[in-house]
Amino acid sequence: MEITEIRVRLMGRRNDKLRALCSATFDNSLAIHDLKVIDGAKGQFVAMPSRKLTDRCARCGGKNHLQARFCNDCGAGLPAERAPKDGRGRPRLHADVAHPIHAAYREALQARVLAAFHDELERSKLPGYRPAALGDEPEDFEEGDAAGSVTTAAVGAAGAAGAAGAAGIPGMSAMAARAPEPPRP
């Protein structure tokens, strides 16, 4: 599967660990939204789209996220520490909606997204910088939330194709830059 486009929306708050929201398009056919560029303890990484895990209220059966202290439907108190633990003993509060199956593909995708993120950071420093629209804007964005976004249509970002080729992923080393298809009416 070829990554044919990456779009980046920079987040405006400098003290936030969430640095950008991204969308990746594969083979000009499949888009995955809400990839997150996060500043972690060991450097920047890409988090895949996820959803909050939920459980049911024992009293009314209503769905509640695992950190809720009270039921959204009936208001009953919910027990603390309901979340299952991961391998490190931390509560597991989210589940990936979409994710790579193989570590090599995940590393190649992360390299491409981080390269597009750093390219956009550099472009945002130029005078007269105007971010492009992401297209399918998430509903939870408000105008003041983001510093901008960009479309990175040239898929052969510096080093990204080389990283993918080095990972030995079929179809990834031939990521020639090509223009995205025009929008359909």
108: exposed, middle or buried (C-beta count within 10 Å: 0-12, 13-18, 19+)? buried
With beta carbons less than 8 A apart as the criterion, state whether 44 and 166 touch. Answer: no
* 103 plus 162 within the same structural domain: yes
| pLDDT computed for residue 183 by the predictor | 52
Q: How many whole angstroms separate alpha carbon 87 and alpha carbon 84?
A: 10
Dump pLDDT digits (tens) for 87-99.
Answer: 888 888 988 899 9
* 66 plus 82 within the same structural domain: yes
Q: How many whole angstroms separate alpha carbon 18 and alpha carbon 40?
A: 9
* 84 plus 102 within the same structural domain: no
Residue with tokens 């472009």: 123
DSSP string, 129-184: --PPP-SS--TT--GGGEEEEEEE-----TTHHHHHHHTT-TTTTT----PPPPPP
* 35 plus 61 within the same structural domain: no
8-40: burial string, b at 16+ Cβ within 10 Å, e else? bbbbeeeeeeebbbbbbbeeeeeebbebbbeee
* 63 plus 44 within the same structural domain: no
* 136 plus 118 within the same structural domain: yes
* 25 plus 83 within the same structural domain: no
Give residue 108's domain range.
Answer: 3-49+97-166
Q: Structural domain tally of the chain?
A: 2
Dump pLDDT digits (tens) for 10-23.
Answer: 987 777 899 999 99
154 or 58, higher pLDDT: 58
Query: Does residue 171 carry a pLDDT above 80?
Result: no
With beta carbons less than 8 A apart as the criterion, state whether 62 and 74 touch. Answer: yes
Q: Which two tokens stand for residue 41?
A: 């303890």
Local structure of 26: helix, strand or coil: strand
Q: Is 179 among the domain residues?
A: no
Query: Does residue 168 carry a pLDDT above 50?
Result: no
* 127 plus 147 within the same structural domain: yes
